Amino acid sequence: MTVSVARKIAFEILRRVEAEGAYASDLLHAELSAEVRAEDAGLATELVLGVLRWRRLLDFLLEHALKKPVARLDLPVALALRMGLYQLRFLERVPARAAVNESVELVKRARKTSAATLVNAVLRRAAGEAAASAEEFLPADIAGAERLGIVHSHPTWMVERWLERFGEERTIGLLEADNRAPRLSCALRDLARRDEIFESLRGAGLRIEAGQILQAAFAVSGRSLTRTAAFREGAISIQDEASQVVPLLLGVRAGDRVLDMCAAPGGKTPALVRAAGAGGMVVAADRHAHRLVAMREQLKRLRLLSVRLVELDAAGRLPFGVFFDRILVDAPCSGTGTVGRHPEIRWRLRPQQLAEFHSLQSALLKSALERLAPGGRLVYSTCSLEAEENERVVEDALGDVRGVRRVDVGEITEALKGKLVAGMDACGLFDSSGYFRTLPGLQDADGFFAAILEMEPKN
């Protein structure tokens, strides 16, 4: 029996995610070229992201049959079992026979023929139990966070943190959102061309949904966006809607000197360049040269060639002889606000890493504040939900750097006037402490945090 193209691609991507620490989204983008049929690309994507999202639940159910940890299996065997069980439990359109037989063939292709009988037996038993709720297999005395962690397939330590921070209702909403395929959100370069661009995208077979926060945002589904003329010509970009809000919080004015300090991959830079205009100056910095190379290609597609790209480690003293009117510090972070988009994060992140991120983020923010002009504004942002990476970083900086204040929400919302969808209350995007926040489950967007700071003007 042969193995379908989609399952071959999915199996190899999952192997590389586990064995090499690669990111599934990058590998899917690289593997699903124009030569791969749309049906195969769709199934491969579903298998990769589905198996990664539901890995803990899949392993729990497999161990019920195996009577030993999945971690003790050879990786190809574990992957074949996870893929097979995912299809049996979550993909009604896939016949059980195909899910079982092709999983057995994947093991054989990986030269683990001795495990073929095991895979066949476990998955055939699982096929008979596929209609049973996972709750039926849980011990009666299991702790609440552990139960939620298994049923919703998240690490228990992460669930415990979120229960303490958000409460049970919001945490369950967040867990459920993490396990849904996120919207493919996009940004319009020119709002005046919206009708024209939407018409061309519909003509290319895409379905369009309006943005939920910004007028210039929209979501697409149905076909590959990157193969459209609008994308190739730079009229649109792929960017989460909450991410699109962050650069707007800076309130960049025409002629401003702007520093995008952790710029790559460059999603937020275009909004800064357009706001600063021909008379402004935008410096985009990143510590990784290869990411700046990729960023330059994106800026070329968008026809934004005036950006000055600089390779530097921004955690130390910045090598600039000028002060900047506006600075964006979109700091490297744990990414817990993007677990729905990058499901492997939940299995790689360890609690102790949050302290390491905090140290780096604090250094970045303090370094940036040293180059902020009097009266200038700085936005510190992350795609993390964790306090160590967000408000505690800001609190540390405010305690160590003199002359810096938090900007009031009323001042910030001025920068958003005319940009939000009708009926959207800008104040609803900020919490009671005045921080910008989005949360999967509450908004159909990634989880973002931002603090807006201002340097006192000279007397």
Indicate which CATH number applies to the domain containing 54: 1.10.940.10
Q: Give the C-alpha distances (Å, rounded to integers) separating 140 from 144, 158, 433.
A: 11, 22, 40
Q: Which residues form the domain of 165?
A: 146-179
Same domain as 169, residue 57: no
Domain boundary among the residues 137, 170, 199 is at: 137
Selection from 118, 48, 47, 128 nearest residue 87 by Cα: 47
Which residues lie across from 210 on neighbouring strands?
218
CA distance 40 to 27: 15
Task: Provide the CATH number for the domain around residue 213.
Answer: 3.30.70.1170
Same domain as 174, residue 129: no
Same domain as 266, residue 247: yes
Same domain as 225, residue 256: no
Per-residue pLDDT in tens (0 to 9) along the chain, 459 residues:
688 999 999 999 999 999 999 999 999 988 987 788 889 999 999 999 999 999 999 999 999 889 899 999 999 999 999 999 999 999 999 999 999 999 999 999 999 999 999 999 999 999 999 888 988 999 999 999 999 999 999 999 999 999 999 999 999 999 999 999 999 999 999 999 999 999 999 999 999 999 999 999 999 998 888 889 999 999 999 999 999 999 999 999 999 999 999 999 999 999 999 999 999 999 999 999 999 999 999 999 999 999 999 999 999 999 999 999 999 999 999 999 999 999 999 999 999 999 999 999 999 999 999 999 999 999 999 999 999 999 999 999 999 889 999 998 988 888 898 899 998 999 999 999 999 999 999 999 999 999 999 999 976
Which tokens go with 372?
A: 């902020």
Same domain as 233, residue 171: no
How many folded domains does the chain comprise? 4
pLDDT, position 1: 64
Same domain as 116, residue 198: no
What is the pTM for the complete model shown? 0.94
Which tokens go with 254?
A: 């025409």
Q: Tell me if 315 sits within 8 A of 363, measured CB to CB.
A: yes
CA distance 338 to 238: 15
Same domain as 418, residue 306: yes
Domain boundary among the residues 221, 238, 255 is at: 238
Catalytic residue among 186, 262, 333, 383: 383
Q: Tell me if 283 sits within 8 A of 451, measured CB to CB.
A: no
Neighbours of 410 (CB within 10 A): 10
Residue 383 annotated in active site: yes
Q: Tell me if 365 sits within 8 A of 393, measured CB to CB.
A: yes
Backbone dihedral angles phi then psi of residue 379, each to the nearest 5 degrees: -115, 125
Q: Pseudo-torsion of CA 201, 53, 89, 129, nearest 10°? A: -170
Same domain as 384, residue 313: yes
Helix axes 241-248, 269-276, angle to 10 degrees: 40
Same domain as 219, residue 126: no
Please identify which residue in the block is written with the tokens 């707007």: 248
pLDDT, position 38: 85
CA distance 77 to 83: 10
Q: Tell me if 369 sits within 8 A of 397, measured CB to CB.
A: yes
Same domain as 245, residue 234: no
CA distance 231 to 85: 37
pLDDT, position 296: 94
Size of the chain in residues: 459
Same domain as 271, residue 222: no
> HEC profile for the chain?
CCCCHHHHHHHHHHHHHHHHCCCHHHHHHHHCCCCCCHHHHHHHHHHHHHHHHCHHHHHHHHHHHHCCCHHHCCHHHHHHHHHHHHHHHHCCCCCHHHHHHHHHHHHHHCCCHHHHHHHHHHHHHHHHHCCCCHHHHCCCCCCHHHHHHHHCCCCHHHHHHHHHHHHHHHHHHHHHHHCCCCCEEEEECCHHHHHHHHHHHHHCCCEEEECCCECCEEEEECCCHHHCHHHHCCCEEECCHHHHHHHHCCCCCCCCEEEECCCCCCCCHHHHHHHHCCCCEEEEEECCHHHHHHHHHHHHHCCCCCCEEEECCCCCCCCCCCCEEEEEEECCCCCHHHCCCCCCHHHHCCCCHHHHHHHHHHHHHHHHHCCEEEEEEEEEEECCCCHHHCHHHHHHHHHHCCCEEECCHHHHHHHHCCCECCCCCHHHHECCCCCEECCECCECCCCCEEEEEEECCCC
Same domain as 13, residue 108: yes
pLDDT, position 35: 84
